[in-house]
Structure 1
């Protein structure tokens, strides 16, 4: 039994590295090194993508039950998905002034409630409501540089959407369209790394591909939900 326990504990240790990457990301943000900040956030995102499957495969809740992996994951996710990206939007000047203050107040407040929502997940492991992936939103803002007030309006709408009965795909776990979703997610990650490494300049073609991947991840669950509703009525 020693090996299963050690293996399960190693998953908790892997998850916990996310907070170290969050600290590195925050230090980069404070110094205004926005590319470095997003690169560390993407490293944390990769860890977040692989620790869950490992935890389920190695029965972490059985062999390492002393530590609550779900709680640990949520703590780190709040830092890397919400707190640091929202700070970056304001501190970078991309969403400054009253629009920036609006995001600083609305998004962390709504996200804190969402991250403790017991109805966050659906039966097929999708998300119930917008899953609070503000790191992805922030990266899109850094690449596209939209009007600050447009960013605020979109952020308010997404904050409201966190508590609505709307379905959003989990990139790793939602079974419906899973091969396509994994492909799009992988492409999004590659483009995100290229964008962060290259000071957010993707060029027209890659910019459109990045936008298309982002749009898919945003609306795929909604389309699945609509199709299921039509099928149910049929």
Structure 2
């Protein structure tokens, strides 16, 4: 590719990343109107964009070919909106956590997450995350689909917030190479089952419910399992 075409490709990746802000606004507008299905569908779209823009950014080398825009900063801003801020608002605005429990959850989620997102140590050498990566969008849609009681939801929120700052690894479905042949399809199945949950009004049953549970557990626990199970050493 010519330098001009490389620059055009890199700029197009930045523009793709920026669409996440639009999807975040559409999700927030739906949340304010308590249209939870629509909100989560927009969050799923933003999640998919976030999954594909990274590999495209590395392929087009945006840092070299379009350096005037900071793609990492753009991504972090959008991630905080779609992964943290909007899901926390949704959890607070429903009956899943009534009264003071909702206040505790929304304050813990937003405060802990902004500190974590600013932590320069959040990535490990194998491109995983050190600590829970603040994927509250994934957690909250599971809460909506399974509707556990507040005595389950609030402790889960607190434990995950604490795990943000502990040396527990969480895999990146795309960038963590170890077990990627399992983790990447699991992430795709999670997106499918989460989309079905949103479309059906969070009335999952059968394989879709079990798929959402199983893939959520795997994505949460795979990194910690990698820390316990030693990997194969390179020759």
TM-score, normalised to structure 1's length?
0.96
Task: Please give the root-mean-square deviation of Cα atoms over the aligned residues, in Å.
Answer: 1.3
Match of 2:80 among 71, 78, 99: 78
Aligned twin of 2:108: 106
Alignment of 1:37-52 (within 5 A): 37-52=39-54
Alignment of 1:79-228 (within 5 A): 79-228=81-230
Q: Any unmatched runs of 5+ in structure 2?
A: none
1:197 Cα offset (Å): 0.5
Cα distance per residue 1:92-142 (max 9 Å; x no partner): 221121110001111100000000110110011001000100000100100
1:205 Cα offset (Å): 3.5
Quote the Cα distance in structure 2 between the aligned partners of 1:19 and 1:94: 27
Quote the Cα distance in structure 2 between the aligned partners of 1:160 and 1:81: 17
Q: Which runs of 4+ in 1 moved over 6 A?
A: none
Cα distance per residue 1:131-173 (max 9 Å; x no partner): 1000001001001111113211111110010010000110111
Cα distance per residue 1:190-229 (max 9 Å; x no partner): 1111110110111143212210110000000100011129
Match of 1:8 among 7, 10, 33: 10
1:64 Cα offset (Å): 0.6
1:85 Cα offset (Å): 0.2
**SS of 1:221 mapped into structure 2:** helix
**SS of 2:229 mapped into structure 1:** helix
Determine if contact 1:100/1:148 at 8 Å carries over to the other structure: no
Determine if contact 2:196/2:208 at 8 Å carries over to the other structure: no
1:56 Cα offset (Å): 0.2
Quote the Cα distance in structure 2 between the aligned partners of 1:177 and 1:205: 23
Quote the Cα distance in structure 2 between the aligned partners of 1:135 and 1:95: 16
Quote the Cα distance in structure 2 between the aligned partners of 1:88 and 1:19: 18
Q: Any unmatched runs of 5+ in structure 1?
A: none
Quote the Cα distance in structure 2 between the aligned partners of 1:192 and 1:158: 20
Which shows bigger deviation, 170-179 or 197-206? 197-206
Quote the Cα distance in structure 1 between the aligned partners of 2:55 and 2:211: 28
